[in-house]
Amino acid sequence: MLKNQIARTILGRLGRALSVGFWVMVISFAIMRIIPGDPASARLGGVEAEAIAQLRKQLNLDGSIFQQFSRYVTDLLHGNLGISLQTGRTVIDIIGSTLPLTIYLILFSTFFAVILSIPIGTSIAWSGKAPIVYTFRGITAVILATPNFFIAMVGILIFTVRVNWSPVFGYEPEFPQNLKYLWLPVVVNTLIMTSVVSRVIFSSVIETKEEEFVETGIIRGVGRRRFFWFYILKPSMAPTVVLLSYMMGTMLGATVILETIFTLPGIGREMVNAVLTSDYPVVQGILLIFGVITVFLSFVGDVIAYLLDRRVKI
Amino acid sequence: MSGNHLLEIKNLKIDVRVTKKRRLSIVDTASLIIEPGQIIGLIGESGSGKTMLCRSLVGTLGRRGAYIASGQLKFDGIDLISAKQSVWNEIRGKRIGYVPQSALAGPNPVMTIGAQLAEAILQDENFPKADLEKRSLELLNIVQIRRPETVLKQYQHELSGGMKQRVMIACAIAQQPQLIVADEPTTGLDVTVQAEIMELLKQIRKDFNTSIILVSHDLPLINEICDDTVVMHAGTTVEKIPSKSIKASKHPYTLALYNSRIDLVVPKGQLKTINGQPPSVGSWPEGCRFSERCDFVKDKCRVKQDLPLITIGTSHETSCLRYDEIAR
Ligand SMILES: Nc1ncnc2c1ncn2[C@@H]1O[C@H](COP(=O)(O)OP(=O)(O)OP(=O)(O)O)[C@@H](O)[C@H]1O
Ligand code: SF4
Ligand SMILES: [Mg+2]
């Protein structure tokens, strides 16, 4: 009966994720069609009508909107996201070559941010000592108020210019070699993420420790370690997990700043380039991928939060 | 002879830090003695310090910025005021079981009921893990929870108020403690559940010779199950009296509480209420803290002084200066 309820809740949430996923698809389809003007003529400028008609066809802009949409969906199901107007590569190919870098960047920095934030957030919240709390609040506020690119540039100044521990530019996509290029952006991103995540854990633990059941744990004589895991950390984790899944989604686009400064060929940069060069199929494809990943992450985040703490409504 | 009492609280004073410099007394001159197997009812208006007094028994005053400023507090001969962590480890959950006031919010929301019971049971390091389930079910049976196998796998939000309360009691009795502190264990529950839980506490006392402190606002309830009733007013214990002779109280506050019992109101009669509001913490009057509400007040009551409990009969102590002049 219990297992059933869990399954039902998760399935319900999955249903919502799928329907949001559908709308993501509709929006990525609509975006090229709702921008003012005609993408094809905008791109080709004042050339002859034939070429424009040709491009309209290639961009799937001919025929009724329903025909366009059904072609779009059929293509999607065949794994066809179109062809870049700029380079002639398939959009799938472009995503496949730029997305992994960004995912590495996000996964590594999320991992380290969590590893750092848990001890920092919980210990400061638990001690509750005013000077420590003020210092913590101050430092994280400063980091959050500083623009990302500035932190990144300070990092480059120190580690590339001064001590030359990190290459100035370039990238090798294979796993262990890529770390040489990725570690500094990961450090910078970890620093920024840690400031947010540790704050969330901090306030969440502050809230938890006032709760009645925490006192119950003390009165029951629960051992230190158990007490920390089950009475402090676990009840405080749900908001953090939800936040993390959300942050990871938004970072897909936000890492463009880091990718630009560190000249990394990630998907954020690709997206900006595509927008600047009016490469509509690429914009459309990347938007779709961002949307799908974001929807997936928030689904996973919600499910984990729910499994950690059944009070969470998902 | 004091070594024989299970619990001995004498002139306890609990202060709370309001700001860095400012201290406020929330309990002052509270005294209470409990013998093994005794059920004591602790009664008094909201804010009179009942919960704070109970918390001092498990050393969690610090969580609310409060601490014991003076007085004595001994449990089975152990001084709890200077108790170190190692002493608390031997007492909490093992020798003193505690059912917190908001037991409805008491169970841990991220652990199953089974996990929490296991936690309570395994306070005894030598308990064989193989018997865990059996013992858990046994405890749930003692507190009369139906379908205990299911409940073990459930979370607190899946339980009703009465069930949570019973679970908290089950956890509190897991180690067969010498003392159970039950802080308003039935507030907010309906009358039949209330009666069942009271029966349960009585049964536990009978089976294990456990002493119980039962905090309540409900005088009839306390009268029914407690051996002695201790009345608190404005942070102090004003009277200790055998429950069955509560009518022969020698303290105006106790009498006022008794007379304001809803069950005494005759159809056309009026519900008598106690004069005024309880004095709030920080603005207690000097001398007798009931003086501003008392029908029997005389000038001598307002003279600055401590009013400790004076023994005036068997198990009967009062702090009223005019006890020999008052009658109901
Ligand atoms: N941290 C604190 N700072 C200041 N005053 C406090 C603090 N904690 C408790 N008090 C005060 O101490 C007094 C006693 O509180 P306590 O909870 O012991 O009352 P109680 O008798 O249990 O009341 P109730 O019947 O409502 O549970 C109250 O007046 C309360 O306002
Ligand atoms: S001491 Fe005086 S004021 Fe206090 S209860 Fe007794 S008669 Fe009333
Ligand atoms: Mg209380």
Whether residue B157 and residue A311 make contact (CB cut-off 8 A), yes or no, is: yes
Separation of alpha carbons B36 and B23, rounded Å: 35
Q: Is the CB of B16 under 6 A from ligand 1?
A: yes
Whether residue B63 and residue A235 make contact (CB cut-off 8 A), yes or no, is: no
Whether residue A220 and residue B120 make contact (CB cut-off 8 A), yes or no, is: yes
Separation of alpha carbons B112 and B155, rounded Å: 5
Separation of alpha carbons A193 and A245, rounded Å: 12
At B16, the amino acid letter reads: V
Q: What is the mean pLDDT of chain A?
A: 90
Q: What is the DSSP string of A200-218?
A: HHHHHHHHHHTSHHHHHHH
CB-based contact B46:B234 (threshold 8 Å): no
- In this structure, the dihedral spanned by the alpha carbons of residues A197, A198, A204 and A208, taken in order and rounded to 10 degrees, is 140
Residues with CB under 5 A from ligand 3 (ion): B 50-51, 101
Domain A93-308 grouped into CATH 3.90.470.10? no
CB hemisphere CA count around B80 (13 angstroms):
30
**Contacts A212 to B, Cβ<8 Å:** 100, 102, 105-106
At A271, the amino acid letter reads: M
Separation of alpha carbons B105 and A211, rounded Å: 8
Domain boundaries, chain A: 1-78, 93-308
Q: Give tens-digit pLDDT for A252-301.
A: 888 889 999 988 999 999 999 998 988 989 999 999 999 999 999 999 99
What local confidence, expressed as pLDDT, does residue B282 receive?
84
Out of B151-160, B262-271, B310-319, which region has the weakest mean confidence (pLDDT)? B262-271
Q: Are strands B236-242 and B7-17 parallel, antiparallel or unpaired?
A: unpaired
What phi and psi values does residue B79 have, to the nearest 5 degrees? -75, 115
Nearest-CA distance A113 → chain B (Å): 24
Mean pLDDT across the stretch B154-173? 90
DSSP B277: P
Nearest to B185 by CA among B61, B56, B50: B50
**Contacts B63 to A, Cβ<8 Å:** 215, 218
Separation of alpha carbons A186 and A106, rounded Å: 8
What local confidence, expressed as pLDDT, does residue B127 receive?
93
Q: Is the CB of B36 under 6 A from ligand 1?
A: no
Nearest to B110 by CA among A290, A82, A178, A305: A305
Give me the CATH topology for the region B38-57+84-226. Answer: Rossmann fold (3.40.50)
Please tell me whether residue B275 adopts helix, strand or coil conformation: coil
Residue B103, pLDDT > 80, answer no
Which of B89, B108, B154 has its CB closest to that of A213? Answer: B108
Q: Give tens-digit pLDDT for A272-281.
A: 999 898 898 9
Domain boundaries, chain B: 38-57+84-226, 229-328
Q: Is the CB of B255 under 6 A from ligand 2?
A: no
Whether residue A230 and residue B120 make contact (CB cut-off 8 A), yes or no, is: no
Nearest to B94 by CA among B122, B136, B114, B123: B123
Model pTM score: 0.85
What is the C-alpha R_g of chain A?
Answer: 24
